[in-house]
Structure 1
Amino acid sequence: LLCCVTSCMTNRELAYMQNDRYNTTTPTSAANSPKPYKLQANDVLSVKVQSEQPELSNLFNIVDPASTMAFGGPSALYLAGYTIDEAGFLTLPTIGKLKVVGLTSTQTQDLIQQNLNKYLVGTTVIVKLLSFKVSVLGGVRNPGYYYVYNEQANLLEGLSLAGDLTQAGDRKRVKLIRQTTGGSEVIILDLTDPNLVQSPYYYLMPNDVLYIDPLKTQLKRENLVVVTALLGVISTGVLLLNYFR
């Protein structure tokens, strides 16, 4: 009876990317190439200059990202990075302001290298995006926000950072909230869909938010607990009334 009331979960509700064509001998191909992320205002970058003459390259390295990360973690690294201002400019020592909004990290790296070559010869510029974080909320084991130390991460990797979905999380209703230059986008993704990896939203972007809706069966189960408790209180009240009559 309890199972009927609460609609017991089945494998079809829990399994990801369900496809009967998947097998153990022949891989199933799915075409989907991630689009390179283009920098936006308020993104934070790590810019490091390397050369055979550290005393010269250190003029451009105000902060050492490696030592900052060792002592302060992601928050300290964030504070020590270079923030792109609202106008889309990155301000660097000696070089000055460079327009980088709309460029990829690689393009920004090349741009800084070109400008740095005017001052130093034989240097190498390394640019990394520091502000790639995703928030995962709802029906997961460890909700929170997580930093991604890679400029490419997909939906399943993002969910794995939060310990995967609980059984109460609805695999067919994962809301992805994405910030764009024009505002916010909201799309619902189905983890059971075999074509999930072909979705244009399969790859995450910095500041994405994932919210996993609760399963209806879980809501029914919680409601049943409340109803059972109320019935228990009512039954106790009726017994007491009959006893004291």
Structure 2
Amino acid sequence: MKKRNFTLRLGLILFALVLLAGCYSKKELVYLQDSEFNKEYPTSIKNRRPDYRVQVNDVLQIDVRNPDPTTTALFSKSSGNMVNGNVNPAYLYLSGYSVDDGGFISIPIVGKVKVDGLTVNEAETLVQTEIDKYLNNASVEVKLVSFKISVLGEVNNPGYHLIYNGQANILEALAMAGDITQFGSRDEVKLIRQTNDGSEVILLDLRDAGLMNSKYFFLLPNDVLYVEPSKEQVKRANLEPLGVVFSALTTLALFINAYVNLTQ
């Protein structure tokens, strides 16, 4: 009888451990939590997307237009290659102007123009000034086509994603990646950002509504988001081999109990 009680207790302990390993509270899963949010009126949060400055290895798409298409063609590469109604991203890179190690782009006839350190709007103004020296009534448009972000770790669709609208925030990036899985940590998401001096890493708490005030809420080209496994997931992973051991012990206890009953 005592052995049976021991076996039952051992099974109940194992069952309780499994339940505890899989428990999640709402507070651990909900994004942007703030006690000030309510149903009566909207909460205003002020933030400003940081101005991105062109860096070495960026790719710019330059579109030059004027009434004479033949003359315009001397300054512009093809503006895109349509595939099933969509622009082929690879073609945008191939037809764009890469920023070389010195921070210059090389435009036909105009020559080299230094754009490193400029915002995209400043680069557009500078290229417009240079083109005006050769064309009358020309219109210049400059876009950054190398805006790529990567989302890795505990998300449903990890990988890199291209941004076409000039800006993206963290929530949009997670949406592109299919959102964080139930096993992903929301309070310690790593943001890896490239700088002129190398890389910087910061931990972000997606549960905190104050994140929307942070300069890291909006992403910049080449940012990487890494979602770590949650502590509960780590505990669960650690419990798996422990569960095998408990299962083996339970089975052994049952065999011992059956053997004792047979020999009595």
What TM-score, normalized to structure 1?
0.91
Residue 44 (1) aligns with residue 59 (2): yes
Contact 1:113 1:124 in 2 (8 A): yes
Q: Return the alpha-carbon distance in structure 1 between the equivalents of residues 52 and 148 of structure 2.
A: 13
TM-aligned CA deviation for residue 191 of structure 1: 0.5
| SS at 1:228 equivalent | helix
Residue 6 (structure 1) aligns with: 21
Residue 106 (structure 2) aligns with: 91
RMSD over aligned Cα atoms: 2.4
Contact 1:174 1:210 in 2 (8 A): yes
Residue 158 (structure 1) aligns with: 173
TM-aligned CA deviation for residue 17 of structure 1: 1.0
Residue 197 (structure 2) aligns with: 182
Query: Matches of residues 120-135 of structure 1 in structure 2 within 5 Å?
Result: 120-135=135-150
Contact 2:46 2:213 in 1 (8 A): yes
1:138 to 150, 153, 161: 153
Give the aligned residue type for 1:184. Answer: S
Paired residues in the alignment total 244
Q: Return the alpha-carbon distance in structure 2 between the equivalents of residues 113 and 8 of structure 1.
A: 59
Change (3 A) 1:68 1:44: farther
Change (3 A) 1:147 1:129: same
TM-aligned CA deviation for residue 150 of structure 1: 2.0
TM-aligned CA deviation for residue 237 of structure 1: 7.2
Q: Deviations over 1:174-227 (max 9, x none)?
A: 100000001110000001112110111111010000001111111212222232
Residue 33 (structure 2) aligns with: 18
Give the aligned residue type for 1:150. Answer: N
| SS at 2:133 equivalent | coil
TM-aligned CA deviation for residue 67 of structure 1: 3.9
Contact 1:68 1:77 in 2 (8 A): no
| SS at 1:192 equivalent | coil
Change (3 A) 1:84 1:183: same
Which of the two has higher C-alpha Rg? 2
2:50 to 23, 31, 35: 35
- Which structure 1 residue ranges, 4+ long, deviate > 3 Å from structure 2? 2-5, 66-72, 230-243
Q: Return the alpha-carbon distance in structure 2 between the equivalents of residues 68 and 121 of structure 1.
A: 33
Q: Return the alpha-carbon distance in structure 2 between the equivalents of residues 170 and 72 of structure 1.
A: 35
- For structure 1, which runs of at least 5 residues remain unmatched after alignment? none
Query: Matches of residues 75-90 of structure 1 in structure 2 within 5 Å?
Result: 75-90=90-105
Residue 212 (structure 1) aligns with: 227
Contact 1:169 1:212 in 2 (8 A): yes
| SS at 2:118 equivalent | coil
| SS at 2:218 equivalent | coil
Change (3 A) 1:70 1:44: farther
Q: Deviations over 1:110-166 (max 9, x none)?
A: 111111111111111111101111110111110000001122211111111101111
What TM-score, normalized to structure 2?
0.85
Aligned-pair identity (%): 45
Residue 130 (structure 2) aligns with: 115
